[in-house]
C-alpha cells in the first residue's frame, strides 16, 4: 500500500509541472512537436510527445499507448493529429520524428491536414546513421572492434581501470571510457551515441602513450 503522504506530494509536484508546461504553451507561438516511439519491458508500444518552444528547452508533454493500434501511416497520423489539436494546431509550425517509413508517410498526411505545419525527420538521427555508415568501412570497423576489446578489458579489471583513470586525468583527458551504442535504423538516437565511436581512436592513442610511459 502506497503512503498517502507520498501520493499527495506526487500529485502536488505533477500539478506544478503541468501548470508550468501549460504556461509555456500558452505564452508561445511557433511550437515544434517532437515524437518518438519505443517498446517497454512489457512489450507495450509507447509514443512520447515533446514540445519545443522558441528559446526554451524541449519538454515532455504526454505518452500514449499505441499497442492496440495498427502501425500504419493513417493510424500514426491520427494519434499525432489528436495531440496537435489538443494543444491547438495554430500554435505549431513544425513536427519532427524519426525517419521510419511509416513516419515519412505520416508526414504527408500531417502537411495535408495542417498546411502551415512542416513535417520532417530528426537531423540528429540522420547524422547518426551517416556516421554509422562511415564507421562501417573496413578500417574504421577494425579500429572500433580493437577499441571495444581494450575498453572491456579495462572496465572488467578494477586495478587496471584505477591506473587508467589516474593517467587519464593526469593527461587532462576528461571523457571517460564508453562503448558504442547501436543505432536502430528506425528509431531516434541522441547525438551522444556518436561519441563513443568518434573517441575510440583517441582511447587507443591514450593507451599506447600509457604503455610507452609517456603519460
Q: Are residues 93 and 163 in the same domain?
A: no
- pLDDT for the residue 180: 63
Chosen domain end from 81, 99, 121: 121
Three-class SS state of 129: helix
Model pTM score: 0.63
Task: Say what the pLDDT of residue 198 is.
Answer: 43
**CATH assignment of the domain containing 73:** 3.30.420
In this structure, the answer to whether residues 95 and 190 fall within a common structural domain is no
| Residue 170, domain extent | 126-212
Cell 512520447 belongs to 48
Q: Does 196 score more than 70 pLDDT?
A: no
b/e for 89-111, b at 16 or more Cβ within 10 A? eebbeebbbbbbebbeebbebbe
pLDDT tens per residue across span 52-73 = 999 888 999 999 888 887 788 9
Q: Which triple of cell numbers denotes residue 43?
A: 512489450
When divided into structural domains, the chain yields a total of 2
The answer on 207 and 115 residing in a single domain is: no
Is residue 167 pLDDT above 90, yes or no?
A: no
Q: How confident is the model at residue 14 (pLDDT cuts 50, 70, 90)?
A: confident
Q: Considering only 68-72, 100-104, 159-163, which range has the smallest mean pLDDT?
A: 68-72
Amino acid at each position: 500500500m502506497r503512503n498517502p503522504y507520498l501520493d499527495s506530494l506526487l500529485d502536488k509536484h505533477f500539478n506544478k509541472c503541468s501548470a508550468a508546461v501549460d504556461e509555456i504553451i500558452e505564452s508561445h507561438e511557433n511550437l515544434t512537436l517532437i515524437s518518438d516511439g519505443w517498446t517497454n519491458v512489457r512489450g507495450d508500444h509507447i509514443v512520447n510527445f515533446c514540445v519545443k518552444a522558441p528559446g526554451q528547452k524541449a519538454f515532455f508533454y504526454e505518452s500514449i499507448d499505441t499497442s492496440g493500434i495498427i502501425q500504419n501511416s493513417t493510424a500514426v497520423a491520427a494519434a499525432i493529429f489528436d495531440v496537435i489539436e489538443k494543444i491547438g494546431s495554430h500554435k505549431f509550425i513544425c513536427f519532427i520524428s524519426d525517419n521510419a517509413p511509416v513516419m515519412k508517410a505520416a508526414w504527408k498526411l500531417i502537411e495535408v491536414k495542417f498546411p502551415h505545419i512542416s513535417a520532417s525527420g530528426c537531423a540528429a538521427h540522420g547524422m547518426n546513421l551517416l556516421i554509422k555508415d562511415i564507421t562501417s568501412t573496413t578500417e574504421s570497423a577494425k579500429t572500433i572492434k580493437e577499441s571495444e576489446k581494450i575498453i572491456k578489458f579495462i572496465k572488467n579489471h578494477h586495478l587496471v581501470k584505477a591506473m587508467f583513470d589516474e593517467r587519464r586525468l593526469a593527461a587532462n583527458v576528461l571523457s571517460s571510457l564508453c562503448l558504442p551504442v547501436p543505432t536502430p535504423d528506425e528509431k531516434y538516437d541522441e547525438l551522444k551515441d556518436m561519441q563513443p565511436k568518434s573517441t575510440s581512436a583517441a582511447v587507443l592513442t591514450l593507451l599506447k602513450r600509457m604503455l610507452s610511459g609517456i603519460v
